[in-house]
Structure 1
Amino acid sequence: MSPSQVPRPVHVLSPDLVSVLKNRVEATMLAIIKKNRHTRCFSESPAFAAFHSAIRNFGREDNDGISDDILLDTFRTTISLTTYDSYELFVAKFLSETCQEDDVRDMFSPGLPYHIAVTSSTSSPKPKFFCQYLHEGSMRYGGVKIQNRNGDLIRTIPVAMGSFETVRLRNGLKVENDHLNIILAAGEWVTSPVAVGFIREYRTFLLMHTLFALAHSKVETIFIVFTTSAVDMIRYMEEEWESLVASIETVGKPTDQPGWLLKIWPMLKSVISIGSGVFSVAVPKLRFHLGSDVQLRSLGFHSSKTHVATVYDPSDLNLFKATSQDIIEYFDVTKEENASSIVPPWLVEIGKHYEVVCTTHDGLWRYRLGDIVEIAGFDPTDGSPIICVTLNDEGKYAHNFAAFLD
């Protein structure tokens, strides 16, 4: 969708849009509750004790016979804000030296995870681990080795950055076959062979991608998670230029003129990368390298927990439409930290600041992402909130973007 085709956000939801948005969100929430209600974490964590107590007060030991309205109301009123502390005790069972199937099956969602996402540590001093399950319709290197009671290996679950696992899923690359995956050639839509994705050292990783990209003069799109990484890639390319061109045919030395990347890739049309929040610092430098003829587009609002929002206006790096594949709610930062301060998407107010709270198909909890957003309006087609990243009191972006990561 071009910028001229993007509908202007509305400031007030009509009754029809409220109904559409509310019905969609509640249907998703019910599906998540019913799917994950008997999981280990939800059944055993003290964070959800009030929910189970309320269910028992209805004369039920479980929620199988509870009406949808009561189930939704109980969830909203008893489950408050949760953090990684309450999650960590359960995910740690996957990281034990001898991971037993009986200890981890049905932990956050039925079955075993498809992938364990490792965060980039942008929001905390140490990485966090989040189990992600393979759901219907979802687009979701050593790994965790799951054993049965006899000690036999039954499953290897990859543990890696979410962006790498997305590539795995798209190409059907199973971790058990990595000894074969590593020799695969580049796909039709990429310049680098699969083996480059296995490089762990950051600088070498970017330089190898650069080397293969320089050998393709017909590159049209650069897809990279962070704008800061894009600037790092260009800086490393300048520093190692002689070594790089010695490995391929000469392409001409880069200059310090605006838009000089087009001399290397004359067909370059767009760079897709996260350029909001803390990563906005790299945007001016990247625009200098690209010039005015190459479009810089956002990757969206992602985290290791969920896909929060999609790009709303391609020309605006800081405007996003909240998604509905998981449950995105909003904590009113001016109120006390409890369940009553969590606002559903159809009740948020234009111009107000909220912290993003998510409940996903991968776990029944109201997780605080730590991201502060401002409500810019609503999509006139389906009522979804349109959000932008805001500044905190220190004048810094209160956002821990790290697409697919944390």
Structure 2
Amino acid sequence: MERLPVTEGKTTFFAPVQDEGAAFPPGSAPIFYNRKMEANRDGTVLFLAAVRPSDYLDAMGATGVRGLRVAHETGIAVTINDIDPAAAAEIRANAGQIEGAIEVTCSDANALMSTRRFDAVDLDPFGTPAPFVDASCRSAKRFLFVTATDTAPLCGAHLKAGMRRYFARPMNTEYHGEVGLRILLGFVAREMIKYDRGIEPLFCFAHEHFVRLHLRTRPRVKNADQALDRIGYVMQCTGCFYREERAGLLSESGVCPCCGTALRPIGPLWLGAVNDPETLLAMEALLPEMALGTASYLGRLLPVLRDELPTSTFYDYHRIAKALRASPPAIDIVLERLRADGYLATRTHYEGTGIRTDAPLATIEAAISGPA
């Protein structure tokens, strides 16, 4: 197997040469290295440098790049696992060339997480993480990280697949990226609640083809109950842009107060904040010294996440302008109009034309349809 040196961040390792045309989907490659996930890995390395867990499990290592980088760039003790003996051998070869405390295991991820506990557990599968979440909730002491790349089922493009995997009903709305993140977050929360533990989202975002969660686990029943209170539904009107949040695991149907169309439930999903401003500030402070390949992207992302309102959806103001047959003004003009009316309003990282606000729909439409 031909191998070539690759550098990410401050870490150089060897990865198998891949014919991306011949190995599709990418997970069909013998040992897969996904260059397009560098922003995902950079975010995790930066996050771990800020929160400093005592040890860390990369449960599905493949080439091991994520765990290798964590060990080398943060000094945290790392266990890298993969069920494939060839992948485990590749990881061991790379680990021998890298400074850091690295243990390599070759095991089924669920079996490993069912028998050992780690301060931080990371799930980064190809596709859905759903089959691994239960075991990870039992294995993670303080932190749990989850990646999902099956964004079509999560976001509502493949409805039945999303319902099967996450026991939730998605919908392909203009805020579908946020639907995917919140359904995944709600699914993880429900799995954790089974063990009388809660979760606290610290650094969660959606980017291109993946959703990424960085969570703190919260022991004790009261924290499980608090997490339960944050699970509910978004009730979306299918006739206009109106939507509302409803907490609770059972939601009655209703009608839109704007146009009288029936409201359709999306969820259950996580309601409320998905990021912790203090954690994001700590990450921003460390960013200049981390030598990350996607530092410019993270430098733009973190302030937006920190400022985002904790509403559970955003509005694509260009879509509303089109429905109103109005010429959309600049986004900053819309935000300032909403703030002048006494409402909170911010940008969102999900969409460049997205706005988050606590203003009612009629006020949003007035802010958009005013003179450009």
TM-score range, shorter chain: under 0.3
* Structure with greater helix share of residues: 2
- Structure with greater contact order relative to length (CA < 8 Å, sep ≥ 6): 1
TM-score (norm: length of structure 2): 0.27
TM-score (norm 1): 0.26
